[in-house]
Amino acid sequence: MLGLKELLIDILVRMQIWLLVNIAKILITLKKVNDKMDKKKLKSISSELKKASAMHKAQASKIDKIIKSMETKKKSIRKTKK
């Protein structure tokens, strides 16, 4: 028969093992959740950036047109002043 001291040590060892196993399970679950979330986040960020790039490109072309129209107006004003 085990003495009281050995029994307590056995119980504590089993509790520590149980705790470590549960911590490992929690960490594995969290990693899986984080991996899925990261993929979703990256996909949404990617799509937002693609939309933003298209939007910025369209805005840049509009600004270029405005600049060209301003240049042609300046040229026509210079010609009329001469």
pLDDT digits (tens, 9 = 90+) for 35-66: 776 777 767 777 777 777 777 777 777 777 77
Cβ–Cβ under 8 Å, residues 10 and 2? yes
Average pLDDT over residues 2-20: 86
Task: In whole angstroms, give the CA distance from residue 38 to residue 47.
Answer: 14
| CB-side neighbour CA atoms (13 Å) of 42 | 6
Q: Can you count the helices (H) and strands (E) in the chain?
A: 1, 0
Q: What is the pTM of this model?
A: 0.41
**CA dihedral over 55, 58, 64, 65, signed as positive or negative:** negative
* Sequence ranges of the domains in the chain: 11-75
